[in-house]
Structure 1
Amino acid sequence: MTGERKHYIGLTLFVALAAVVPLSTDNDFYLRVLFLIGVNYIAAAGMNVLVGYTGQKSLGHAGLFAVGAYTTALLTTRWGWNPWPAFAAAGVMAGLFGIVIALPALRVKGPALAMVTIGFGIVVEKIVSEWQDVFAGQQGIYGVLPLSLGGAMFSSKHWVWFVLLLGVTLHVMLRLLLRGRFGRAFMAVNTAEVAAESVGISVYRFKVLAFVISAVTCGLAGALIAQQNQYINSDFITFNLSVFILLMVLFGGPSIYGPLLGAVVLTLLDAFLSRWPSVQHFTYGALLLFALYAMPDGLAGFLRKISRKWAPSLLSPEPLPGQLAPWRPRGQGNGEEMLLEAEGLYKAYGGVVPTNNVDIRIRAGHVHSLIGPNGAGKTTLLNILSGIVPPDRGKIRFGGGDVTGLPPHRIARAGLGRTFQNLKLFTGMSVLDNVKLGLHANIPTGFFGSLVGSGGQAEKAARDEALQILDALGLRDKAQEIAGSLPYGVQRRLELARALATHPRLLLLDEPAAGLNPQETQELVQVILRIRDMGITVLLIEHHMDLVMAVSDHVIVLDYGQKIAEGTPEQVQNDPRVIAAYLGAEDTMEQEDEEGGVYVP
């Protein structure tokens, strides 16, 4: 049985059980608790995208809850809206406020981001408390129209069934979204932002999107509370609510099922402790610390560990297809064109100038090597070419277009792929998903298509192509292993596979042989030559001169940020300026006298 079938069978059983529960009781308190579990899940499910998947902490979502609640309250009581359009408008308005928060908030990270969101929550709380003419403060707004069917207002049981239907719909849509290209992109942003940009993912846009998703679900949760109570006041909008929403996600764990676990456990605990508010607040704080430090994977992670031990069949990986055709890159140019031309590149950090008026020309179909002593500015030059570091001056033309100053994800989408001197894998994801992330820009499924599951064929095609790339680099047998668990040499090859998946016209390799043993280095030589034979142009930084001489058609030498020589490997190897840069002038003269020639190490 496939994982998809297991999931939908389990979901059907859960829905059937949950739908029957309201029939077994007329106790309004029990029905109210069930309703609150559903509302809290809806708020936490969107928050999970922001916190659990994208890694952005927010402590101001009570403000977004208030936006949804007061939107539906004002529309139904003062402007006479039908409660159904008012409910939908609450989600839209909260989403707009999510953008308003995200744009300034995401200029900062970590604790500073949390402080900005706290500020938003406090501002909203003060507005609804103090602006009496509009929001009525603690007195509140009465007469909020509840949802109804056929002219009959929802009963307590109807509210439970409605929130169950809404929660299940939200779960299915978010699961489809997060299991595809958008979910991988969110996790990539969380793990390594620079690497995410290098495969064509706009980090800023995905952070904003995560904020909007969390805002919409939080706004809908606020609307549900206002319409079910037929009343809303400022007492609902407190900092404790923001903590509670965040705690549900952290305690449940960064999983599609985590928000449900968190909502069930914490809603029941909240109902139990409601008689003792001081104990309630202390418990929230203690659980928050516990979730952050003692159980970082939450209840979902704990249950996953138990399942691996006692019921491994529940977590069995999806079967992969058999033999596939060899992988070939798309859209490569011919060997006559000048693929990249950079003129007068200059970058200074105070008095340090790692790139000093460098000109560079890269011809399609060749392997170009960039060498020089430590500190010569090689990696800085690669970072400038790939958009990670903007030049202070100079021009870069790539593929016939000016890419100077463009963000890294746009340069990556133009056909420039790269690896990094210090590995930047998405270590918590599988090998297969790492390579799928390289294919991100080539998967045509959009946001709304992902929500409704219309990208199934595109996902299968991406999986097959990722397997073809892994097969080409001898990594197919590692496809379902976690990237961070692989040996270092295999991780190096995986990063190269991910870069190839972007379908680069130009591939930048920053010391790909660093940390490899001699056998792995020799294998890398053959891999680079195969990549060149596929029509992919390579610009390589490397200190292993045997590797450089074996693969290079053209060598460029930097020293103290300046280009001092270029030409064929033989020409560069015998250039006096290169010899002096590596060995020093005095040492060079001594070796020439003793040996009658010099070999660049």
Structure 2
Amino acid sequence: MNRYSHLAGVLLAVVAVVGLTFALNNDYYLRILFMMGVYYLCAAGMNVLVGYAGQKSLGQAGLFAAGAYAVALLTTRTEMSPWIALALAAVISGVFGVLIALPSLRVKGPYLAMVTLAFGIVVEKLVSEWTEVFGGAQGVYGIRPLSWGENPLSTQQWVWFTVALCAVTHLLLRNLVGGRFGRALLSLQADEIASSSVGVRVYRAKVIAFVVAAVTCGIAGALVAQQNQYINSDFITFHLSIFILLLVLFGGAGSQYGPLVGTVILVVIDVSLARWPAAQHFLYGFLLLFALYAMPGGVMGLLNAVFARFRKKPELPSGVEPRAYRPASADATGDLLVVDNVSKAFGGVKPAQDVSFRLQRGHVHALIGPNGAGKSTMINMVTGVLDPSAGTICFLGQNLAGQPAHAICQLGMGRTFQNLRLFAELSVLDNVKLGHHTRMRNGFFASLLALPAARREEARTTERALQLLALVDLLPLAHAPAGSLPYGLQRRVELARALATEPQLLLLDEPAAGLNPQETAELGQLLLKIARCGISILMVEHHMDLVMSISDHVIVLDYGIKIAEGKPGEIQNNPRVIQAYLGVEDGAEPTPAPAGA
């Protein structure tokens, strides 16, 4: 569905709900529609946090309270316009979102859920016990409601306003998650190390997700306070946090329509069981467990599975030219990477000991050695995944000490991994587009508003990704889930993703692992084609035929120590390399390997 037809569909839905308010000439039913809108706002933001970024939060009641009490205090203690107070409540909630995002850098999974739960409990206790400010159980009265002209909004007008706000929220979040930032958030959920290796600023993306969830939840709390003209601690309970999480999980986390489906179904159930609170709590617990274990994709997951067979596959453009990126400095000369006396120790284990080498621009370099020689450790130190214990690593004349992986990627260094780190649930095309993340220039607000600049960047990224998929002969599989491909093809996807970062130096950690001889030979030809584009390559590899046929320069490690380096022919005939890498029989002298072996 293109953006214009989707917009027409949203407008039609808004008109339908507005028409329904005229048919329901009853404040009770209008109140139910209003609360559906409020809960949808909470769920839509929570879906970005849980469904896309994969960050579990149980503190949404605290964010709801932040918006509700902010608007309550601003309108009862100042002469501020209720409309301005509503906007400030959203900002204040966003600040709280940043505060609870801070621990997400250090804790993950259930530990993060516990931290957010603690935040919700602290807020609940704060508004209950600090009666001088928040009124405790008595609450805050006299909150000024939104008004049109000089008249407060009627119940019907509250529904209109909330529905319009929900429609705008849906369109904005659809813009956000449907492009650069949505892919970045999904990559966090899959693999944070791989995400940072393609240039995603992991912590920044997490903070964005927390802030989005906080702002929408804060606005929802402010609307409830202003519509009721009253708020107290009874509104802020752990039950509310569970209910908001359930809206997302039951409807379908990660689906743009999941929060809406979950909200409509669960609010109707909530209203139906209002007379039996114990039954409500039991049912919420049951549905939460059911959604987690029996229906992980939620209602929308089931519907998508049913209608998938009837959905047309997206068409691929014809005449895509296979093309690799050519760095601006492809014709420059001199050292590209300088590793000087680098060591790494894990307690008593030292996988790198005073290793030094230099990589020349435009060359294919190989880093070889027996298992446990420290090759992957060296690649991880160069790319910022690990920090060296001693020594310096300079890339393009810049010291990489303390640089995070995403910053090193942005400098012009792409990589693949020894063990595949694809974003398996994403399509092949989206995996490669993620590689181009750091080269896209559209910021958060340009993406949120779908400005022309953001749409142009998305189109440019799609074009580049398709060219790279054509280069690695994967264009027909562009829309297939990356995890569904055979192992050898997944290796190519990872290579295309690394090329999408537009590197000057491409680091490949055992790219031929698991490939058959024909696939290995094809990989060698592809790497030579990439090198001819001016991209320098450092390859960790055990396939000696591949190493010797395409490398310009070979570096040999043994137990973390560099024992030799030079041209392939020199390395083949180096007795120390033969002894360390190939081994010799006891009492036998190593003999040089014949040239070309």
Question: Shorter-normalised TM-score: what interval?
Answer: over 0.9
Q: Deviations over 1:567-599 (max 9, x none)?
A: 00110111111111023354582664xxx8578
Match of 1:148 in 2: 147
Aligned AA (1:54): A
Tell me the TM-score normalized by structure 2.
0.97
Aligned AA (2:207): V
Q: Deviations over 1:520-551 (max 9, x none)?
A: 11100001100100000000000000000011
Aligned AA (2:229): Q
Aligned AA (1:67): A
2:314 and 2:6 mapped to 1: Cα distance? 13
1:328 Cα deviation after fit? 4.0
Distance 1:500-1:51 versus aligned 2 partners, 3 A rule: same
Aligned residue among 443, 446, 450 for 1:446: 443
Quick check: 1:425 aligned with 2:422? yes
2:504 and 2:585 mapped to 1: Cα distance? 42
8 Å contact kept, 2:569–2:595 = no
Distance 1:597-1:496 versus aligned 2 partners, 3 A rule: closer
Match of 2:507 in 1: 508
Aligned residue among 387, 392, 405 for 1:390: 387
Name the SS of the counterpart of 1:114 in structure 2: helix
Quick check: 1:304 aligned with 2:283? no
1:85 and 1:600 mapped to 2: Cα distance? 77
Aligned AA (1:269): I
1:317 Cα deviation after fit? 4.0
Q: Deviations over 1:467-505 (max 9, x none)?
A: 111111111111111111111111100100000000000
Name the SS of the counterpart of 1:324 in structure 2: coil
Quick check: 1:375 aligned with 2:369? no
8 Å contact kept, 2:321–2:470 = no
Give runs of aligned pairs for residues 169-568 of structure 1, distance below 5 A: 169-253=168-252, 254-309=254-309, 312=310, 315-329=311-325, 330-334=327-331, 336-454=333-451, 455-568=454-567
8 Å contact kept, 2:579–2:590 = no
8 Å contact kept, 1:470–1:497 = yes
For structure 1, list consecutive stretches of 5 or more residues without a partner in the other structure. none
Aligned AA (2:278): S
8 Å contact kept, 2:188–2:202 = yes
2:23 and 2:483 mapped to 1: Cα distance? 49
Q: Deviations over 1:404-442 (max 9, x none)?
A: 221000000000000001111111111111111011111
2:582 and 2:462 mapped to 1: Cα distance? 49
Name the SS of the counterpart of 1:414 in structure 2: helix
8 Å contact kept, 1:427–1:483 = yes
Aligned length: 593
RMSD: 1.5
Name the SS of the counterpart of 1:426 in structure 2: coil
Aligned AA (2:519): E
1:105 and 1:480 mapped to 2: Cα distance? 32
8 Å contact kept, 1:344–1:357 = yes
1:343 Cα deviation after fit? 0.7
Quick check: 1:166 aligned with 2:165? yes
1:4 and 1:105 mapped to 2: Cα distance? 34
2:273 and 2:399 mapped to 1: Cα distance? 62
8 Å contact kept, 2:569–2:596 = no
2:455 and 2:590 mapped to 1: Cα distance? 65
1:175 and 1:197 mapped to 2: Cα distance? 24
Aligned AA (1:95): G
For structure 2, list consecutive stretches of 5 or more residues without a partner in the other structure. none
2:238 and 2:407 mapped to 1: Cα distance? 39
Give runs of aligned pairs for residues 18-37 of structure 1, distance below 5 A: 18-37=17-36
8 Å contact kept, 1:344–1:359 = yes
Aligned AA (1:287): L
Aligned AA (2:373): A
Name the SS of the counterpart of 2:503 in structure 1: coil
Give runs of aligned pairs for residues 10-49 of structure 1, distance below 5 A: 10-49=9-48
1:475 and 1:289 mapped to 2: Cα distance? 40
2:67 and 2:494 mapped to 1: Cα distance? 44
1:80 and 1:337 mapped to 2: Cα distance? 67
1:380 and 1:36 mapped to 2: Cα distance? 54
1:7 Cα deviation after fit? 2.6
1:600 Cα deviation after fit? 11
Distance 1:510-1:588 versus aligned 2 partners, 3 A rule: farther
8 Å contact kept, 1:591–1:597 = no
Distance 1:180-1:527 versus aligned 2 partners, 3 A rule: same
8 Å contact kept, 2:103–2:112 = no
Percent identical residues: 56
2:318 and 2:227 mapped to 1: Cα distance? 53
Distance 1:121-1:599 versus aligned 2 partners, 3 A rule: farther
8 Å contact kept, 2:324–2:499 = no
Q: Deviations over 1:61-108 (max 9, x none)?
A: 100100000000000001121100000011100000111111124310
1:577 and 1:337 mapped to 2: Cα distance? 29
Aligned AA (2:286): A
2:332 and 2:584 mapped to 1: Cα distance? 38
Tell me the TM-score normalized by structure 1.
0.96
Aligned AA (2:511): P
1:162 and 1:476 mapped to 2: Cα distance? 46
Name the SS of the counterpart of 1:555 in structure 2: strand
Match of 2:67 in 1: 68
1:5 Cα deviation after fit? 4.6
